[in-house]
Amino acid sequence: MGLSADQLEEVAPELRPVRPITTEDAAASLKKMFMSVNRKLAWAWTAEDEWAVEFRRRVESGDFSSMTTVKDEAQRLWRLHSPDYDPSRATHVPSLDGRGHRTKRSRRSDETEATYRK
């Protein structure tokens, strides 16, 4: 999406599309959330930090049971490591038990009213 042929060559073969996808193609057939999740997966896959090397090792060794769990882990890593993540704008956050997501988050036991959502 919006990548030149040279930029596509830099994308890992596992993540590279079979044919170039235009922005119009993607907008017509994909939901915004789907595109966002895949962008985070590509970001985590191509990062060079230690956590990213470990992430790729886990994916390649089959530690994840499905592509959905891989994408969930990529999103978690993006929240932890991306300079673009702004926690004050988050509306869709992981549940407290780590199994799923919810839209609103309640105050955690380690937060005070003064530090809630800061």
Note the pLDDT tens digit of each residue in 53-90: 999 999 999 999 989 899 989 988 998 999 888 777 76
- Tell which residue, 89, 78, 90, 19, has the closest CA to residue 51: 78
State the Cα–Cα distance between residues 35 and 13, nearest whole angstrom: 18
**Is residue 5 one of the residues assigned to a domain?**
no
**Is residue 26 one of the residues assigned to a domain?**
no
**Is residue 115 one of the residues assigned to a domain?**
no
Give the total number of structural domains in the chain: 1
- Tell which residue, 34, 35, 54, 33, has the closest CA to residue 44: 54
Q: Is the pTM of this model over 0.75?
A: no
For residues 117 and 93, the answer to whether their CB atoms sit within 8 Å is no
Domain that holds residue 88: 33-102
**Is residue 84 one of the residues assigned to a domain?**
yes
State the Cα–Cα distance between residues 54 and 51, nearest whole angstrom: 5
For residues 101 and 94, the answer to whether their CB atoms sit within 8 Å is yes
**Is residue 18 one of the residues assigned to a domain?**
no
**Is residue 17 one of the residues assigned to a domain?**
no
Report the share of the chain in percent with pLDDT over 70.
Answer: 72
